[in-house]
């Protein structure tokens, strides 16, 4: 299960890994916490939100993943009771073994920081009977992994996933976000999203000794360590 | 393959993991870089070195591992050409996929620091034809993992191995170091080695969500990343 | 003075140190910021809150400490004006030289993170006349220490307190939390609270060269440094 | 543009650098996010707020800077939608190339932590058309620098600005804060603000190889890196 | 002035920055500390050393830089008196304002680690009259910058240089190292050196908001701070 | 016991703390590991070494400390067997409870780095019977503290000693180093040693809430933790 702040974040930061889970036959969920409504230079908020939800839907379908849309206002996600309960309910819907989310240390955008922080904060709460949401409590505490930061700024991966076999579908997933891959972002930032994503995956691949990779850090908190396999 | 500074270090810091490799059928090697000759309060150096080599031999045999004894002087290992070549040759003998060694950040003892540092430094050199030792070059660069520090001081594990199934043999391996588990160390430090090892394994186990565990950090250096499996 | 998120946190993370203060004749206060109402698998919230308050009361009495109960909702403590004022008022009641609280870096639970963060944030405010609560301002800024994380994950102690003489009363304090030391937690986590607490105290003891210890980090913020004694 | 929590913070932590910008002919703005109303031992809140605003005004005038006063309650700034919008609007007024603000890692005061964090969080939002405030969006994303912590606690500067030529005006700016430089603060902290500021500037100067300096860390977040000049 | 361990290191890690210095009219020196003699799969040591020196010479000539060849044995550089004096003498020949060298934290290769460490260690000594080498003492202490690690592993740049205008000559410099850009390295590592260098420069460029960049960290040591310019 | 690289280092970095130990009646030793022979612009090496030894002697006498002079060549201390044995013997002479030495993380000078590192490395060896030097083994392992770096670069103190009562004698101790406090150093660095030392002590004092302080970090290594007192 992926939990990201905006439509296209999951595709950029963990799309290759999600595709590998899907390939293996796992159920994959993509939770998007905000509605992405500020992500356009000219369209009004409600139109862009609707467009981006459809784009996210199409991207998810490429790997057979289910999209869950929490709909919080873009750029204005806050850590409140309703937010935590909404996150808990979404996780209970997915009953995940593993959650991939944003790294709270990324200074890029507060929706990223808070999405990552709240996912980690509520991981145990999803199993607690006395916290009531629409969905019943989870049986086990999911393991939380923090994904790379945007452009890798400040991030030192501790684990890598080889996505050489899924870089193609990752690029197609990203390409579904047509409203984002047009000219305005490359005007603003001097680089297309596809180029930035591909080069980032190559760079993490060099570090991991493969063609393409994605980097992660496991959330270090009791009792969510993972032991049982041998190294590496 | 384990590479540690003194007889008994491998047993304490990574014995459970080595036993799991052995259980799986892997060839396991225990390289001891110094002769441990200062490790006794009354016996002269050459006697204690001989005794400890025998103890290490018996401990290795418990899991069918091969002992390799480099014989550098205890407490006076230095980073010199002959040391590097000796390490390279030992690694070429083992042709390991994975090397477990000391964490260079451990301030406990310079033999630990330097053993860990040199193992990492020569990992690529083992594959280089123009560096000639008795053994032919390795075909692939081994992955290096740094084991826990003594008493866990300063060390934050990034990966854990569940050793619940091998804690028994780990304790028996340590018990073979009879010259070390007698009274003088517990007089000096107020704790027996068995107690310290067992409690440390339990503590790392709590962190990892299992009964007993050992903690590690993968050496972060190009091109020894490891990608290809899914998380966790 | 201890300030922790849930009943039993103070006992687990700093109980031995509190007992030493009490032994020395200091006034000891245990502030619990939430009502612990989610901490049971079957009982309803208000019942469990009442039970846990009584348990905390009995544990505090074992060392003659005063319990202060802030009653914020368990798992839903937030950094708001009312929360800060409530914390300030509680600290003004105790007029402490030293406050022991949670380490804000612990990713285990947001009530822990926020309790530690808010205690540090308001430490100076407790002395400011223009911030009005029921209690008059403190005369001096208390020194804040952050206690160990749960299971020590991610935490590197900078200072240790030898609790060898108080490990017994620490265990009895924890045993008063009968609703927590029953089967459900060990079912969930595979370890009893008493075992985890005892082993953690032993482990920190190894690091400190004594039988049992608790680890702390002093909050690094102006002007709450402490100088005046010699090392160590 | 400077954005600080209280009147006098900008003067203490970055006054010399602001004076250098002014000297060079740049437009300089000093944004103060709270009204500083708790900053006095005897005066009521609204009086001290008014006094401090005037003091800040006079200090700003010394270098020809414009003061922008956000007026949030002192010690009770929170990260809410209205706060972010107010910050965004202030930045849009200034249209800065560079923003100097508090370092979010400073544990001294939550107004500092949050001012620094929110400035960084909204830096990109200031350019986004779909986030509407009184002022039109900025054309480019400002570069954010975090200034030294109070008394330098916990802070390791990555860049320094030589303020030898402006230390005089920096001292005069600080001296305008007459309500703060009187006896009560030096009673509370055992040091006058002028002495602490001057010694801190000297100390950072030693580190930078000049008489007086101020230290900074650039916010590390995409896409606000700065390349284009040669080192140093 | 660049000081690197092997022929081609300067080209890969700082070639674009050196070219910019050259473009500006500065005197540029490339010091290579070892003879690179193990860098070939089949040729004997003395032949490959001679070939690589010529290649380094041609690469340096592309930007009009002077090559200085220290000739220590490849993979066996050690921190000894003769090494320090040789480094001091080389620096005195160049009389640099700035030295770019390896980051001592890079675990990739001990020649890198030690070259970076020794350059930093001797920076002040180059000005000391009582340390006598062939060249007279320097008048001023050079500023030391540590360049990116190989593949960026473990490295978080603090400063960036925009090399968009010199990426072309950087690629041509690297291409002169014909003995290294042939098949054997890409067989060993699964990537060509040109590809790895180009992608790395792009990735650092994303982080810096330009097409291509190189990342650096200034050595933090008294009295080599640099203040005097405004941010950024 | 202090163990520093050059005559005057102990005075600058830990002189106030040593004076407090002396005041309390403890035996204080100042070990200087090199002969300081490069520390002059015009005098030949053997003359300056002799002068500086006398200066160090006079400074030590001011607090009744004993000077121990190891005489290794200035700027060329290396980690060799003879160095370790010389350090072990010096520590055995002093039989210290506490050793104050350089912080190995200081990039200022390799004599500093190595003195601090070797002191920590040999701390346990001083108690080992099978390591034979002129002096008999110590009975207990000394606690090691690392002192501030030169100008505090890169150093975050974890503990402070209030030296307000001994700043006067600290200044007089430093003033005995007449060969160092003359014009040449302030020409080279733009600041006198007395000014730098005094301002640094003031700055660390601000951080510690007193007039003058010195900062330290305890070496984190088993089994040299210190527990037994209460906080702070």
Chain C residues in contact with D180 (beta carbon < 8 A): none
Between CA C133 and CA C143, with CA C139 as vertex, the angle to 5 degrees is: 100
Confidence at residue A187, expressed as pLDDT on a 0 to 100 scale: 66
With contact defined as beta carbons under 8 Å apart, do C188 and F188 qualify? no
Confidence at residue B226, expressed as pLDDT on a 0 to 100 scale: 66
Nearest to E17 by CA among E147, E195, E110, E117: E147
Q: Is B115 on the interface with F (CB under 8 A)?
A: no
Q: Is the peptide bond before A67 cis (omega within 30 degrees of 0)?
A: no
Q: How many CB atoms lie within 10 A of CB A24?
A: 9
- CB contact (8 A) between residue A154 and residue D79: no
Cα separation, C168 vs C173, whole angstroms: 9
Q: pLDDT at residue D227 above 60?
A: no
Q: Is F160 on the interface with C (CB under 8 A)?
A: yes
Region D10-36: what's the mean pLDDT?
Answer: 96
CA distances for A1 relative to A27, A91, D31, F2, angstroms: 8, 8, 42, 56
Q: pLDDT at residue E228 above 60?
A: no
Confidence at residue A183, expressed as pLDDT on a 0 to 100 scale: 60
pTM metric for this prediction = 0.96
pLDDT category of residue B80 using cuts at 50, 70 and 90: very high
pLDDT tens per residue across span F91-121? 999 999 999 999 999 999 999 999 999 999 9
- How far does the CA of residue D37 sit from the closest CA of chain A (Å)? 27
Tokens 């006697």 belong to residue: B47
Confidence at residue D192, expressed as pLDDT on a 0 to 100 scale: 86
Tell which wins on pLDDT, E113 or F190. Answer: E113
Chain C residues in contact with D153 (beta carbon < 8 A): 220-222, 225
Tokens of E2: 């660049």
Contacts across the B-E interface (CB distance below 8 Å):
47
Region B88-98: what's the mean pLDDT?
Answer: 96
Cα separation, D6 vs D111, whole angstroms: 8
- How far does the CA of residue B136 sit from the closest CA of chain C (Å)? 42
- Is the ipTM value over 0.85, yes or no? yes
- CB contact (8 A) between residue A191 and residue E206: yes
Q: Where are the domains of chain F?
A: 2-218
- CB contact (8 A) between residue E220 and residue F109: no
Task: Please tell me which of the candidates D152, D206, D210 has its beta carbon nearest to residue F196.
Answer: D206
Strand partners, F196: none
pLDDT tens per residue across span D152-189? 999 999 999 999 999 999 999 999 999 886 666 666 66
**B and F make contact (3+ CB pairs below 8 Å):** yes
- How far does the CA of residue A153 sit from the closest CA of chain D (Å)? 6
- How far does the CA of residue B157 sit from the closest CA of chain C (Å)? 8
- CB contact (8 A) between residue C227 and residue F220: no
pLDDT category of residue D94 using cuts at 50, 70 and 90: very high
Q: Is A76 on the interface with D (CB under 8 A)?
A: yes
Q: pLDDT at residue A228 above 60?
A: no
Chain E residues in contact with F42 (beta carbon < 8 A): 129
CATH number 3.40.50.10320 given to E2-218: yes
Residues 6+ apart with CB under 8 A from E131: E85, E88, E125, E137, F38, F75
Q: Is C38 on the interface with A (CB under 8 A)?
A: yes
Task: Please tell me which of the candidates E40, E78, E151 has its beta carbon nearest to residue B130.
Answer: E40
With contact defined as beta carbons under 8 Å apart, do F207 and F215 qualify? yes
Region F182-206: what's the mean pLDDT?
Answer: 82
Average pLDDT, chain B: 92
- How far does the CA of residue A21 sit from the closest CA of chain D (Å)? 29
* DSSP E strand boundaries for chain D: 2-4, 29-34, 66-72, 98-101, 143-147, 159-162, 213-218
- How far does the CA of residue A134 sit from the closest CA of chain E (Å)? 42
Region B65-84: what's the mean pLDDT?
Answer: 97
Q: How many CB atoms lie within 10 A of CB C231?
A: 19
pLDDT tens per residue across span B203-221? 999 999 889 999 999 999 9
With contact defined as beta carbons under 8 Å apart, do F15 and F37 qualify? no
Tokens 């006067």 belong to residue: F168
Residues 6+ apart with CB under 8 A from A218: A143, A144, A145, A146, A158, A159, A226, B158, B231, B232
Nearest to C163 by CA among C9, C4, C2, C12: C12
With contact defined as beta carbons under 8 Å apart, do C200 and C163 qualify? no
Q: pLDDT at residue F157 above 80?
A: yes
Cα separation, A17 vs A30, whole angstroms: 12
Nearest chain E alpha carbon to F41: E129
Nearest to C91 by CA among C119, C64, C113, C59: C119
Does an H or E element contain E67, and which? strand E66-72
Q: Is E227 on the interface with A (CB under 8 A)?
A: no
Confidence at residue D191, expressed as pLDDT on a 0 to 100 scale: 77
Q: How many CB atoms lie within 10 A of CB F202?
A: 22
- CB contact (8 A) between residue A220 and residue B21: no
Nearest to E102 by CA among E153, E141, E38, E162: E153
With contact defined as beta carbons under 8 Å apart, do C146 and C104 qualify? yes
With contact defined as beta carbons under 8 Å apart, do A14 and A112 qualify? no
Cα separation, D7 vs D12, whole angstroms: 10
| Mutation site, E107, E202, E206, interface A, largest A CB count within 10 A | E206
Confidence at residue A230, expressed as pLDDT on a 0 to 100 scale: 67
Q: Is the peptide bond before E42 cis (omega within 30 degrees of 0)?
A: no
Q: Is E38 on the interface with F (CB under 8 A)?
A: no
The dihedral region occupied by C94, where left means phi > 0, alpha psi between -120 and 50, and beta the remainder, is alpha
Region B31-49: what's the mean pLDDT?
Answer: 91
With contact defined as beta carbons under 8 Å apart, do A84 and A122 qualify? yes
Confidence at residue B48, expressed as pLDDT on a 0 to 100 scale: 94
Q: pLDDT at residue B228 above 60?
A: no
Nearest chain B alpha carbon to A206: B223
pLDDT tens per residue across span D102-127? 999 999 999 999 999 999 999 999 99
With contact defined as beta carbons under 8 Å apart, do D203 and F205 qualify? no
- CB contact (8 A) between residue E42 and residue B125: no
- How far does the CA of residue A188 sit from the closest CA of chain C (Å)? 35
Confidence at residue E202, expressed as pLDDT on a 0 to 100 scale: 96
Tokens of E132: 């006598």
Confidence at residue E216, expressed as pLDDT on a 0 to 100 scale: 94
Confidence at residue E164, expressed as pLDDT on a 0 to 100 scale: 94
Beta pairing, strands E213-218 & F66-72: unpaired
Q: Is F206 on the interface with E (CB under 8 A)?
A: no
- CB contact (8 A) between residue B221 and residue E38: no
Q: pLDDT at residue B200 above 80?
A: yes
Cα separation, B7 vs A228, whole angstroms: 27
Q: How many CB atoms lie within 10 A of CB D12?
A: 25
Region F163-171: what's the mean pLDDT?
Answer: 96
Cα separation, E154 vs E133, whole angstroms: 36
Q: pLDDT at residue F228 above 60?
A: no
Region C95-104: what's the mean pLDDT?
Answer: 96
Chain B residues in contact with E150 (beta carbon < 8 A): 221-222
Region C82-104: what's the mean pLDDT?
Answer: 97
């Amino acid at each position: 299960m992926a939990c990201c702040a905006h439509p296209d974040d999951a595709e950029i930061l963990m799309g290759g890994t999600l595709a590998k889970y899907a390939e293996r036959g796992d159920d994959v969920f993509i939770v998007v916490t905000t509605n992405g409504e500020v992500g356009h230079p000219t369209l009004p908020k409600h139109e862009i939100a609707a467009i981006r939800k459809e784009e996210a839907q199409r991207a998810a379908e490429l790997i057979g993943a289910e999209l869950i849309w929490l709909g919080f206002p873009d750029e204005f996600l806050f850590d409140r009771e309703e937010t935590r309960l909404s996150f808990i309910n979404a996780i209970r819907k997915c009953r995940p073994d593993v959650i991939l989310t944003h790294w709270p240390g990324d200074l890029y955008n507060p929706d990223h920081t808070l999405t990552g922080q709240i996912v980690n904060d509520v991981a145990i709460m999803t199993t607690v009977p006395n916290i009531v949401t629409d969905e019943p409590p989870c049986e086990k505490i999911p393991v939380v992994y923090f994904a790379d930061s945007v452009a890798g700024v400040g991030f030192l991966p501790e684990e890598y996933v080889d996505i050489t076999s899924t870089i193609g579908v990752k690029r197609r997933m990203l390409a579904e976000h047509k409203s984002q891959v047009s000219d305005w972002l490359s005007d603003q930032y001097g680089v297309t999203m596809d180029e930035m994503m591909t080069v980032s995956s190559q760079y993490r691949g060099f570090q991991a000794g493969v063609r393409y990779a994605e980097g992660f850090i496991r959330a270090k908190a009791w009792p969510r360590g993972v032991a049982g396999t041998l190294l590496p």
